Amino acid sequence: MVKKDIVIFSAPSGSGKTTILKRLFDLNPDVFDFSISATSRPKRNNEIDGKDYYFLTEQDFRAKIANDEFLEWEEVYNGILYGTLKLEIERIRANGKIIAFDVDVNGGISIKKLFKDNAVSVFVMPPSVDELRHRLELRATESKESIADRIERSAMELSMSSKFDYTILNDDINLAVAKAQKIVDEVLQR
Ligand code: 5GP
């Protein structure tokens, strides 16, 4: 079996993929390194530049696109850019860790195509669109418009789930983490 050193998590916003990833990191210390993406969206109060994202102006982001510095990038929401910098992959590979990606569905499919059998891709499925809306409202990090954008996009995202190696239904966070851990054990061949 080919040794896998990449795990990709994709899902509609509010599905809980970031929570699952955080729990996996705690359960598997020193195994993963998170691929820190670049984004042109404004920083939330609880986020740290260089830890959660590299926050760039749209102008700087576009200059890096022109300079071919991205492995992949997407305009995930209207006018808001997200992308994986090639340098980020080199940084993690140098540490010999498994790279964990938290990217949108298009990014997830692109990264899987690039790394093929070295990567395992996981789609985190919310129980329903109503539950997605409820979670985004509870999280209270987004404006009304941003929640509406995210819900609108979720139909397209849900229709892409079959393109992933695995789907995890997240209606119970403990069960979802246990399923994610099983996939990780397989990747680590243990
Ligand atoms: P948020 O604004 O909630 O942090 O992220 C919005 C969406 O952008 C999520 O689906 C997240 O996974 C996705 N995203 C974050 N970083 C990247 C990236 O580097 N590339 C792509 N394609 N999507 C990303």
Ligand 1 pocket test, pick from 103, 113, 122, 170 with the greatest ligand atom count within 8 Å of Cβ, gives 103
Report residue 48 CA to chain centroid gap. 17
Per residue of the chain (190 residues), give pLDDT as tens: 677 899 999 999 999 999 999 999 999 999 999 999 999 999 999 999 999 999 999 999 999 999 999 999 999 998 999 999 999 999 998 988 999 999 999 999 999 999 999 999 999 999 999 999 999 999 888 999 999 999 999 999 999 999 999 999 999 999 999 999 999 998 877 6
- With a Cβ cut-off of 6 Å, ligand 1 is lined by 13, 37, 41, 72, 74, 76, 82-84, 102-104, 106-107
In the chain, the amino acid numbered 34 is: F
Spatial CA neighbour of 65 closest among 89, 38, 42: 38
126 in Cβ contact with 14 (< 8 Å): yes
At CA 71, angle to CA 29 and CA 44, rounded to 5? 60
53 in Cβ contact with 73 (< 8 Å): no
CA-to-CA distance for 51 and 13, rounded, in angstroms?
Answer: 19
Specify the DSSP class assigned to residue 26.
H
Q: Domains along the chain?
A: 6-188 (3.40.50.300)
The pLDDT value given to residue 31: 93
In sequence order, the 6+-apart residues with CB closer than 8 A to the CB of 103 are: 8, 9, 10, 37, 72, 74, 82, 84, 111
In sequence order, the 6+-apart residues with CB closer than 8 A to the CB of 92 are: 33, 35, 99
- Atom number, ligand 1, closest to the C-alpha of residue 52: 4
Q: How far is the CA of 55 from the centre of ligand 1 (A)?
A: 12
The pLDDT value given to residue 115: 96
